[in-house]
């Protein structure tokens, strides 16, 4: 599959941009659980108090803390606050802090983050020390000053440090916030407004990140679709271009139905996989690793739950992958077979109906359909099992987090909001692996499809131009020479043609006749290089056709195949297919020579009449004549007719050959003509008789009637003695 991915190279900038957007989306997604945790822990439980450092504190409260502080702590606290008295307080300060109207209040200075962190730790220790002292005083029913004189401050500070070490950071923060909440209430501050403001502001931030995540996701989807569609377009063009250069030998390697499947279904599989890869596979590791880092930073001792879940998920995916992968290879081959059966059914519909064999063909189709249905059900069921397993694992992980997390909440290690955030991150980790799992459903088929496409692209074209091709001689025109030509099909043991030698002359007709399978069509297909000779050589205008460009060679040839083939469009577009710049006179002349003028003129739209694909809306004879007209429009040096007059009646055949002969004499074009009927070649300048791949006769009709037994047998089987005598 990696060999196919090189076609993504033109889109590297879009891929990098998509990766950046995925990173932005993941950042937004990973930030939201933090805000949810803050809303629950700080906004709801801590009344919107973010820090354990007092922003404002009454003088008497500060003095009570100083009782339990050592000298360095006292210096830290006193240097961090400035005293504001009622007489010096501004009106705004009194409005914000109502207690300033009657008592002194200390206000926090701008002390910097590092000093504020030290102050927070100091105040937390002093708060916990006060709790320990108060608890002991209550138990012993002794006043705090007496208790401190009896036991000393250091004893309670030591107990306070021990308690803090047992609690989690979030619990310690929650405890400190209760002290701050009481103090702010005593200061007369509006705690309800403070809480609401915090929750609303945090909620708006969370909403902003959610919108940012949505925008990134939409943009990534847009880019992924464009990249995948462009990749598919380029790949289809590459495959199509490759196939157009295939020789008949290459085409025989792949069936038509298989090439259609590879160009459509297989590339579609890759397109879908690339979209999923850009949207999910690239995103899953980012969100997964980010969530794991947040889980580790959370301090909750439940990371082992995630590790266990991930190991189980990977084991399930690997097992199913090993089971399903071989089946996908078989599935694509069965799609080829299905296409082949359907194509055969549609192409041979008239024959099938004529022999009442609809039921037989239905059985063939049902068998192919049942085979692909069976394997599709197997793979689908195997993949379907994965989803309930994943949901079970995800819900089981949630239960385990709640079970073990509740115990930590109860012991004071973490808060409820932290558990909620941990669950969110855990789900993000699991979903990352689930997303990758979903992609693994497509990867096996995509890999098979990529290999099938690469098989086409990597096929070596058997007929190709030389690195330094020659040019045709300008002094020669329409001369075709076979020199000891032998040919056998690739992989065959026996030669189809053996030691064929002859030469044509400009303006003359060379005909080929022989029994079925004697090699007539094979021989003339060697001239346009549809196949290359096994031994010997073919010269056109004195140059070996293997030494010139194929395009130059075929530009000198007007080829009419055995089966007339028209393309979708109209009559004019089909005639211009051989020569785009042909004039109206050229078209009119070609229609006249091919005896097509009469039936074309009778059509309501004339040469602009529509032609269906394959020419199915015209008769066989009309299709054949239009194919001949298409070759005539080109005005080539060499005409090749591969039994192209078989669909014509004798009268039309005679008129066409007469007009064609006159035109060829005028333009000095050479005609190579394969025929089954003696009447079509009676007046040929040279007749080549083939029998089992060997040339057994060469000459005019009268010469061959005297010297060639095979020709005599063919002639006597088609014409009466009287008809032969009158020739």
- Give whole-number Cα distances, 45 to 121, 148, 201, in Å: 20, 32, 16
- Does residue 213 sit in helix, strand or coil? helix
What average pLDDT does this structure show over 559-578? 87
Q: Is residue 437 within 8 Å of residue 296, measured between CB atoms?
A: no
Q: Are 206 and 36 in contact (CB under 8 A)?
A: yes
Contact 578, 558 (CB under 8 A): yes
DSSP character string of 79-100? HHEEEE-TTT--HHHHHH-GGG
pTM: predicted TM-score of the whole model, two decimal places: 0.70
pLDDT at residue 168, as a whole number: 66
Instruction: Give how far Cα 308 sits from Cα of 20, 295, 315, Å.
Output: 31, 14, 11
Helix and strand counts by DSSP (H, E) for the chain: 27, 15
Contact by Cβ (8 Å): 4, 235? yes
Strand ranges (E), 495-637: 497-503, 509-514, 535-540, 543-544, 557-560, 569-570, 610-611
Q: What number of residues does the chain have?
A: 727
Token pair of 238 as six digits: 């590459």
The rounded distance, in Å, linking the Cα atoms of 421 and 424 is 5
C-alpha distances (whole Å) from 240 to each of 32, 243, 264, 709 are 49, 5, 11, 48
Res 424: pLDDT: 81
Instruction: Judge contact between 708 and 697, C-beta under 8 A.
Output: yes
What span, in angstroms and rounded, lies between the C-alpha atoms of 2 and 209?
36
Whether 641 and 669 have beta carbons less than 8 Å apart is answered as: no
Q: Which helix (H) or strand (E) element contains residue 500?
A: strand 497-503
Residue with tokens 């599959």, as numbered in its chain: 1
What is the arithmetic mean of pLDDT over 67-72? 86
Cβ neighbors of 527 (< 8 A, separation 6 or more) are 480, 538, 540, 545, 557, 638, 640, 672
Per-range mean pLDDT, top range of 87-101, 320-334, 526-540: 526-540
Q: What is the pLDDT of residues 578-605, one digit of tens each?
A: 888 888 898 999 999 988 888 888 888 8
DSSP 289-321: HHHHHHHHHH--S-HHHHHHHHHHHHHHHHHHH
Is the confidence at residue 170, as pLDDT, over 70? no
- In the structure, what pLDDT confidence band is assigned to residue 440 with cuts at 50, 70 and 90? low
Which secondary structure element, helix H or strand E, spans residue 420, and what is its range? helix 416-457
pLDDT tens digit string along 103-135?
Answer: 888 888 888 888 888 888 888 888 888 888 888
Cβ–Cβ under 8 Å, residues 648 and 624: yes
Which two three-digit tokens encode residue 453? 């496409």
Pick from 665, 619, 612, 608: nearest CA to 639:
665
- Rounded to whole angstroms, the Cα distance separating 576 from 423 reads 70
Its sign, for the CA torsion 3, 8, 13, 19, is negative
Task: Compute the mean pLDDT over every residue in the chain, rounded to the nearest whole number.
Answer: 84
């Amino acid at each position: 599959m990696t060999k196919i991915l090189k076609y993504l190279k033109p889109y590297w900038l879009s891929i990098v941009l998509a990766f950046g957007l995925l990173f932005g989306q993941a950042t937004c997604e990973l930030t939201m659980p933090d805000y949810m945790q803050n809303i629950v822990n700080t906004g709801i439980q801590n009344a919107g108090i973010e820090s354990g450092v007092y922003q404002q504190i009454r003088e008497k409260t500060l003095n009570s803390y100083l009782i339990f502080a050592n000298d360095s702590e006292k210096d830290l606290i006193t240097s961090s606050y400035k005293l504001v008295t009622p007489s010096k307080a501004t009106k705004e300060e009194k409005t914000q802090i109502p207690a300033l109207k009657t008592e002194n209040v200390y206000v926090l200075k701008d002390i910097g983050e590092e000093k504020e962190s030290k102050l927070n730790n100091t105040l937390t220790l002093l708060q916990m020390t006060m709790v320990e002292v108060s608890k002991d005083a209550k138990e012993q029913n002794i006043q705090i000053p007496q208790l401190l004189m009896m036991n000393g401050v250091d004893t309670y500070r030591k107990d306070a440090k021990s308690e803090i070490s047992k609690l989690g950071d979030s619990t310690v923060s929650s405890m400190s916030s209760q002290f701050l909440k009481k103090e702010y209430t005593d200061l007369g501050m509006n705690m309800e407004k403070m809480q609401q403001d915090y929750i609303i502001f945090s909620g708006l931030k969370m909403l902003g990140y959610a919108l940012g995540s949505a925008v990134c996701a939409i943009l990534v989807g847009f880019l992924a679709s464009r990249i995948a569609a462009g990749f598919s377009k380029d790949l289809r063009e590459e495959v199509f271009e490759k196939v157009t250069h295939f020789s008949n030998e290459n085409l025989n390697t792949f069936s038509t139905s298989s090439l259609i499947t590879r160009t459509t279904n297989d590339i579609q599989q890759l397109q879908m996989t690339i979209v999923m890869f850009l949207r999910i596979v690239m995103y899953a590791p980012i969100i997964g690793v980010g969530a794991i880092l947040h889980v580790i930073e959370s301090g909750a001792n439940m990371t082992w739950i995630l590790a266990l879940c991930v190991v189980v998920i990977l084991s399930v995916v690997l097992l199913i992958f090993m089971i399903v992968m071989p089946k996908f290879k078989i599935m694509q081959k069965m799609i080829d077979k299905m296409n082949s059966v359907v194509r055969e059914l549609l192409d041979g519909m008239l024959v099938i109906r004529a022999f009442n064999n609809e039921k037989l063909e239905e059985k063939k189709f049902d068998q192919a359909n049942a085979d692909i249905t069976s394997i599709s059900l197997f793979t689908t069921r195997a993949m379907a099992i994965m989803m309930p397993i994943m949901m079970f694992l995800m819900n089981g992980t949630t239960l385990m987090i709640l079970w073990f997390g509740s115990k930590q909440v109860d012991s004071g290690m973490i808060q409820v909001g932290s558990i909620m955030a941990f669950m969110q991150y855990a789900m993000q980790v699991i979903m990352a692996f689930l997303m990758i799992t979903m992609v693994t459903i497509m990867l096996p088929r995509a890999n098979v499809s990529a290999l099938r496409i690469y098989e086409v692209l990597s096929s070596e074209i058997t007929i190709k131009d030389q690195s330094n091709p020659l040019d045709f001689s300008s002094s020669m025109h329409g001369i075709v020479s076979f020199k000891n030509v032998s040919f056998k099909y690739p992989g065959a043991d026996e030669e189809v043609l053996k030691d064929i030698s002859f030469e044509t002359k400009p303006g003359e007709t060379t005909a080929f006749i022989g029994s079925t399978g004697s090699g007539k069509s094979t021989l003339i297909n060697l001239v346009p290089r549809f196949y290359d000779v096994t031994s010997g050589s073919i010269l056109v205008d004195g140059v070996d056709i293997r030494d010139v460009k194929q395009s130059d060679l075929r530009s000198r040839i007007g080829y009419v195949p055995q089966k007339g083939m028209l393309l979708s469009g109209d009559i004019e577009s089909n005639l211009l297919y051989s020569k785009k710049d042909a004039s109206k006179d050229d078209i009119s002349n070609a229609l006249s020579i091919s005896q097509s003028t009469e039936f074309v003129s009778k059509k309501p739209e004339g040469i602009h009449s529509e032609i269906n694909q394959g020419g199915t809306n015209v008769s066989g004879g009309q299709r054949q004549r239009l194919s001949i007209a298409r070759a005539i429009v080109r005005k080539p040096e060499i005409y090749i007719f591969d039994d192209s007059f078989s669909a014509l009646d004798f009268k039309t055949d005679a008129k066409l050959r007469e007009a064609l002969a006159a035109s060829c004499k005028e333009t000095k074009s050479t005609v190579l003509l394969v025929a089954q009927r003696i009447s079509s070649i009676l007046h040929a300048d040279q007749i080549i008789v083939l029998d089992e791949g060997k040339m057994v006769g060469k000459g005019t009709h009268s010469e061959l009637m005297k010297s060639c037994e095979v020709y005599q047998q063919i002639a006597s089987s088609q014409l009466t003695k009287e008809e032969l005598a009158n020739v």
